[in-house]
Amino acid sequence: MATNPGSDAFGPILPRHIGMLLLLAMVWGTSFLVIKIGVEYMSAIQLTAFRLSVAAFVMIVCALIMRSAFPVGARAWAYCFVLAAFGNSLPFFLISWGEEAIASGLAAILMAVMPLTTLVLAHYFTDGDRLRPQKLIGILLGFGGVIVLVGPEALKGLGGDFIRQLATAGGAVCYAISVIIVRRMPPSPMMGRAALVLGFSVLQTVPLALYLSGWTLPELTFDSIWPSVYLGVFPTALATLILFKLLSEREPSFVAFQNYLVPVFGIMWGALLLDEVVTVQVMAALLLILCGIYVANRRRRQP
């Protein structure tokens, strides 16, 4: 539990921190579109197991090529195992399963509980990341940006498919827990740590996926495989490295803002790839979210 009463233990936000946050949101912003395609060919748990297997393979190969050391010791392995569950296995399955039945706009709102949850958890479990009024205001501004983005009418779907909605919100809470775990992990080489976490994720999901599918594999065609490969390489393996690097330099409440940016970039990717229109509503939402980031992380003047 955090014991440092200080309010700013991480120093000023640098351009590279903003760049990593935006890059993380850009990469994750493609995942919702690709998940929608992937679950047309295989179940949510199969898609989760497949993408994690691809990610683990890529990361282990990269760690071996880079000669990165792996975490050692029971404590480090325990942290990696728990992070695998809360950072990958559980949220990937819960969100994919939830998206099978609920609208993407409602999913974006439900995922927006992640920064709020992170703000509370970080106050108690991270040194120097205290719950201050300006952070709460910034988080609420970001949440308002998500509402503007998807439209208030998306809230009408709340309660319609309660279990699927609860699963999606549960995935967001898992992500909040995972960023706290990353901040508290014992020091270890980033590449080797990511490889071990993803390896544990495979062990947690593949047996379950095989059992639930009756020990049969989905039909393997290019159309069914490419979503899993893409999700494994970019929104999983690459995003894990970016997340680890950003959390090594910034507090969880700052990193949590990527959850507000992800749906914005999701729409922008749709405009780029599917000829959808980026409306004034989208730009207004982005402006609100960026204002929230500024307000939450503005350094107070010293008396």
Please give the distance of CA 67 from its chain centroid, rounded to a whole number: 27
Q: Which of 77-91, 97-111, 136-150 has the highest mean pLDDT?
A: 77-91
Query: pLDDT band for position 302 (50/70/90)?
Result: very low
Q: How far is CA 57 from each of CA 50, 148, 237, rounded to the nearest angstrom? A: 11, 39, 9
Question: Could you give the percent of the chain with pLDDT greater than 70?
Answer: 92
Burial label for 62, CB within 10 Å (0-12, 13-18, 19+), is middle
Q: Would residue 6 be called left, alpha or beta, if left means φ above 0 and alpha means ψ between -120 and 50 degrees?
A: beta
Task: Write down the pLDDT at residue 58.
Answer: 97
Instruction: Please name the residue that has the structure tokens 């409306």.
Output: 279
Task: Write down the pLDDT at residue 238.
Answer: 96
Query: pLDDT band for position 138 (50/70/90)?
Result: very high
Instruction: Please name the residue that has the structure tokens 């609420």.
Output: 140
For 63-67, 187-191, 265-269, which range has the lowest pLDDT when averaged over its residues? 265-269
Domain boundaries, the chain: 31-130+158-251
pLDDT (tens digit per residue) in 150-184: 787 766 666 667 888 899 999 999 999 999 999 99
Instruction: Please name the residue that has the structure tokens 């402006």.
Output: 287
In the predicted structure, residue 288 carries a pLDDT above the cut 60: yes
In the predicted structure, residue 189 carries a pLDDT above the cut 50: yes
Q: Which carries the bigger pLDDT value, residue 106 or residue 160?
A: 106
Q: How far is CA 278 from each of CA 10, 29, 265, 270, 293, rounded to the nearest angstrom? A: 35, 15, 10, 9, 22
Show the CA angle centred on residue 281, arms to residues 147 and 35, nearest 5°: 65
Average pLDDT over residues 172-199: 95
Task: Write down the pLDDT at residue 9.
Answer: 62
Decide: 243 and 182 in contact? Cβ < 8 Å.
yes
Please give the distance of CA 66 from its chain centroid, rounded to a whole number: 26
In the predicted structure, residue 22 carries a pLDDT above the cut 80: yes
CB neighbour burial string for 253-291, b if at least 16 within 10 angstroms, e if fewer: bbbbbbbbbbbbbbbbbbeeeeeeeeeeebeebbebbbb
pTM value is 0.87
Rg of the chain (C-alpha set): 19
**CA pair distance 253, 165, nearest whole angstrom:** 24
Query: pLDDT band for position 17 (50/70/90)?
Result: very high
